[in-house]
Amino acid sequence: MSETAFRPALLIVDVQEDFCPPNGALAVPDGRAVVPVINDLLALPFVLKIATKDHHPPNHISFASNHGPDAQPYTSFATVTNPTNARETYQTRLWPDHCVAGTPGNALVRELAADRLDGVILKGMDPRVEMYSAFRSPLRDPPLVSAVSSLAALLRDRQVTEVFVTGLAGDYCVFHSALDCAEDGWKTYVVEEATRSVGGQEGWEKAVEELKAKGVGIVHADGEEVGRVRELSSSA
Ligand code: VGL
Ligand code: ZN
């Protein structure tokens, strides 16, 4: 492959019923509005189109309901401890129960053109840790094997050069997936119209600042970067 190869992938993060109004347990404001934008992107010749699903067991550490009567969703925090290294910890926000495996809220949004996907990657299955990123939990010393996904290997296998990140939520799972993606060496973009944030516009603007500072590009569905994908012949 030449050095100038352009092999873009589309990553669709957690476009699941529980993250969407009107009935989602952890509905992101205006979350369902990402679906038509993402369906248009799914029609383009990306070399790989992958969706992720937040896929929690009922005893997941991020559910306020698992932390006693005083724990409140959205405002309380819990400590995550590396199961193999008690000195490595991080604080994580608590949420309403959401995306529990086998429940309707776990399903990809019905209007999503899922027939165009090359695969679906599950994350957040280990009850002991929070895993916002589609790549891995934040634990590094050592990494927790049960919270490292196959996404990086898949992108390498398909010789992906850049990743366009979309989905929910812009200030949590999209944010952390894009940061890890850039850290792992892919040119990484978030398509602004294809995401919405738990913290609304304010939450998104805060995320954008940090994404840009870490080298993630914020691009538009009708912009130049997506335009390069449109121009790819599907046989390239
Ligand atoms: C997410 C909160 C909890 C997300 C997942 O997909 O952004 N947010 N779990
Ligand atoms: Zn979750």
Each residue's pLDDT tens digit, 34-84 = 999 999 999 999 999 999 999 999 999 999 999 999 999 999 999 999 999
User: Tell me: the pLDDT tens digits for 158-195?
Assistant: 999 999 999 999 999 999 999 999 999 999 999 999 99
The pLDDT score that the predictor gives to residue 4 is 73
| 181 is a catalytic site residue | no
Active site residue 20: no
Amino acid making up residue 150: S
Q: What residue's CA is closest to ligand 1, atom 2?
A: 172
3-state DSSP assignment of residue 191: strand
221's CB contacts (< 8 A; 6+ apart) are 37, 40, 41, 191, 192, 193, 194
Domains of the chain by residue range:
3-58+102-235
* Most ligand 1 atoms within 8 A of CB, residue of 98, 123, 131 to mutate: 98
Q: What is the pLDDT of residue 2?
A: 52
Distance 133 CA to ligand 2 centre (A): 10
Q: H helices within 144-195, ranges in order?
A: 151-157, 173-183
Whether pLDDT at 146 is above 70? yes
Mean pLDDT, the chain, integer = 96
Which residues, chain by chain, have CB under 5 Å from ion ligand 2? 54
Name, in order, each residue with C-beta under 8 angstroms of 120's C-beta and a sequence gap of 6 or more: 50, 51, 52, 53, 108, 114
Over 90: is that where the pLDDT of 205 sits? Answer: yes
Q: Which one is catalytic: 14, 18, 97, 126?
A: 14
The pairing of strands 217-219 and 119-123 is unpaired
Which band of pLDDT confidence, cut at 50, 70 and 90, is reported for residue 26?
very high
Question: Any residues with Cβ below 6 Å from ligand 1, and which?
Answer: 14, 19, 26, 54, 62, 95, 132, 168-169, 172-173
Q: Which has the closest alpha carbon to 123: 46, 25, 56?
A: 56
Q: Return the pLDDT at 234.
A: 53
pLDDT of residue 3: 56
User: 55 CA to middle of ligand 1, Å?
Assistant: 10
Q: How far is CA 116 from CA 40, 76, 204, 216, 226, in A?
A: 11, 38, 28, 25, 17
Q: Which tokens belong to 109?
A: 């949004």
Residue 6: is its pLDDT beyond 80? yes
Catalytic hit among 18, 173, 180, 181: 173
CATH number of 3-58+102-235: 3.40.50.850
CA 39 → CA 59, 114, 208, 234, distances in Å?
A: 33, 9, 23, 17
Shortest-distance ligand to the CA of residue 61: 2
